[in-house]
């Protein structure tokens, strides 16, 4: 169980860092071009950043939920699913960062 928890936490933290970089670039582009497309990217990145920041808060900071997630009370199938979602999101964000900075 600890491995799934660690992978989910690291992946969520990496997602936050990647999304901060993307929102910064997209926000800068919006200020320069003022197009609806770049505004949509900023909004998408902002909402996804909020979701990952909340997950990271729950995994690391919240006293009740972080203890519950770290315990054996959460079924391993649920942890595998959460880890897979965070990991797939990380792969997608790495690709977005790559094409954004290319």
pLDDT tens, position by position, 8-36: 899 999 999 999 999 999 999 999 999 99
Helix, strand, coil % over all residues of the chain, rounded to 5: 90, 0, 10
69/63: higher pLDDT: 63
Report the pLDDT averaged over residues 78-93: 93
Percent over 90 (pLDDT), the chain: 72
Q: Which domain holds residue 69?
A: 3-97
Domain-embedded: residue 33:
yes
Report the pLDDT averaged over residues 59-74: 85
Domain-embedded: residue 21:
yes
Domain-embedded: residue 102:
no
Position 61 pLDDT exceeds 90: yes
**Dihedral sign of CA atoms 46, 80, 8, 62 in order:** positive
Q: How many domains does the chain have?
A: 1
Say what the pLDDT of residue 66 is: 84
């Amino acid at each position: 169980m600890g491995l799934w928890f660690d992978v989910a936490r690291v992946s969520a933290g990496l997602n936050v860092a990647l999304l901060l970089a993307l929102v910064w670039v997209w926000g800068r582009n919006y200020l320069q071009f003022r197009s609806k497309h770049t505004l949509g990217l900023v909004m998408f990145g902002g909402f996804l950043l909020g979701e990952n920041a909340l997950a990271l808060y729950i995994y690391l900071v919240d006293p009740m939920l972080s203890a519950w997630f770290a315990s054996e009370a959460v079924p391993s199938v649920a942890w595998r699913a959460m880890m897979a979602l965070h990991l797939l999101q990380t792969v997608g964000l790495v690709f977005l960062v790559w094409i954004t900075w290319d």
